[in-house]
Amino acid sequence: SARAGSIASALVMAAEAARERWSERADALGGALSKVLPRLDVEVSLLVEDGTFLDRRPVFLASSLTEDHGVGYEQAGKWRYLLPSRIRELGEGGRERAFPLLFEENSLPPNAQERSDVRLYRLRVHPLATSPASKAARLDP
């Protein structure tokens, strides 16, 4: 069906984006994907937009996030995000620090939410599947 084709196309695009992102950061994340992947648990999830922010005041941004929300931004065709689990790791005040941390990690100024060329998103994660690494692969350095 047309819908199945759309979903398949979206998954292929997501896989290509993941490969490209990994290639950009391969050295920082442990090396070539072909060598690292067998030792990793792989989780496949959909990131679903759950609203964009027109009100960009930090207090509003933080109050609009729940424990189940991640944050993201789009600028000049690049899309970056923090997952809800990462925001929870920040502990108390994590929702207030989410966007500034995301901007810092991507070399944007802390007040980038004020820029008109930056679109801010609230997102949810919908897990699809998990493929754990084999025990043998985990033991093999």
Query: What's the predicted TM-score (pTM) here?
Result: 0.70
CB-based contact 102:73 (threshold 8 Å)? yes
Phi, psi values for residue 32, rounded to 5°: -60, 140
CB within 8 Å of 1: residues ≥ 6 apart: none
H or E segment at 58? helix 58-63
User: Residue ranges of the domains in the chain?
Assistant: 1-40, 46-129
Distance CA 125, CA 48 (A): 6
Distance of alpha carbon 116 from the chain centroid = 21
pLDDT in tens, 64-119: 999 999 999 999 988 999 999 999 999 999 999 999 999 999 999 888 989 999 99
The pLDDT value given to residue 96: 94
CA distance 137 to 96: 39
- Domain boundaries 46-129, CATH class: alpha beta
